[in-house]
Amino acid sequence: MNIFIGELIGTMILIILGDGVVANVVLEKSKGQNSGWIVISAGWGFGVAIAVYVAGWASGAHINPAVTLGLAAVGDVSPDVIPIYLAGQFLGAFLGAVLVWLAYLPHWDATDNPDGKLGIFCTTPAIRHTLGNLLCEMIGTAVLLMGVLGIANEYNGLGNGLGPYLVGILVFGIGLSLGGPTGYAINPARDLAPRFAHFLLPIPGKRDSDWSYAWIPIVGPILGGVIGAVLYYFLFSGLSPLKS
């Protein structure tokens, strides 16, 4: 129960703050309209940090199936709890997207931008290129897993209170550096569950939910997460810290 509740609440907060910052930038008559990519990247980074602070003690705050499956690939997550993690993540992401819709309720009708409305809920590529988009999601998520494992490495000597903050900086950095081509989903639950919310909610003037692209922010992050975790353990296993 700890895992399910922790992942549900943590992922819900992630999406409220992450999709919420995109809504603030994109929707008409919002006070944050047109404030730009740095604001979006910062909002997602802060959202991750807060989500991990809220839920880390209960579930470890994976808040991302790519993290769960990457850690499972190196033996850090037992296979029998994977479905519990994933259920909490996908349900939490869906609920978070619904709450963003409610928070900006009068702004959907005021906005005449169907692509922008879709982009609040899920990622869309800047240039639609199947291999390039897939590789970008793989690379971004591999960096995420290597960064998370590096932050958690006992040799860094970090106190428990600093880790979530640094994971937020990591996600902020990924957004600034690798977010341009695809919008850096790097998280299947973050993309797929809000995409379903977009499909189901009565959003005025919305377009289709771009299901032909939806597999890329699922497959790319899963592959990248596994690769990143395996690479980290392979490259650093057996090493000891430098002596001063």
Q: Are 144 and 225 in contact (CB under 8 A)?
A: yes
Instruction: Give the per-residue pLDDT at 160.
Output: 65
Asked if the structure places residue 200 within a domain, the reply is yes
Q: What percent of the chain is modeled with pLDDT above 90?
A: 89
Q: Is residue 243 part of a domain?
A: no
Each residue's pLDDT tens digit, 164-200 = 999 999 999 999 999 999 999 999 999 999 999 999 9
Residue 119 lies in a domain: yes
The reported pLDDT for the residue numbered 157 is 65
CATH number at residue 165: 1.20.1080.10
Task: Report pTM.
Answer: 0.95
The pLDDT tens digits of the residues spanning 187-242 come to 999 999 999 999 999 999 999 999 999 999 999 999 999 999 999 999 887 776 77
pLDDT digits (tens, 9 = 90+) for 96-120: 999 999 999 999 999 999 999 999 9
104 contact partners, CB below 8 Å, separation of at least 6 = 20, 23, 27, 30
Look up the domain containing 140 and give its range.
2-236
111 occurs within a structural domain: yes
Domain count, the chain: 1
